[in-house]
Structure 1
């Protein structure tokens, strides 16, 4: 699963944090295999690392492309 690989690359996360990120990723990616799964995983982790810990807010923000 891309979210686990990306989360591992980002550093050490607690099991509860990884579970949260996994739930958010599953809600965003929807059904089937999306070619942008790595990008979705990166957005979820980036938003979490920026301090967004509320699941609903994390889903909402992670659906949008990262600002540069």
Structure 2
């Protein structure tokens, strides 16, 4: 399997797309699930996780 990386097919930073590519899932479904979970948790915990992942995960070209 490939290493985890941010996707080139970005909506924001490519984090959800990177997870979807890594595990062979549909990118749209991962993004919808993550956005829905962010709304229901009040944005703070998952929003912070997304920002940290965007900083820590290497880009697709790296």
TM-score by length of 2: 0.36
Structure with the higher helix share, 1 or 2: 1
Specify the structure having the higher radius of gyration (Cα): 2
The alignment's TM-score, normalised by the length of structure 1, stands at 0.34
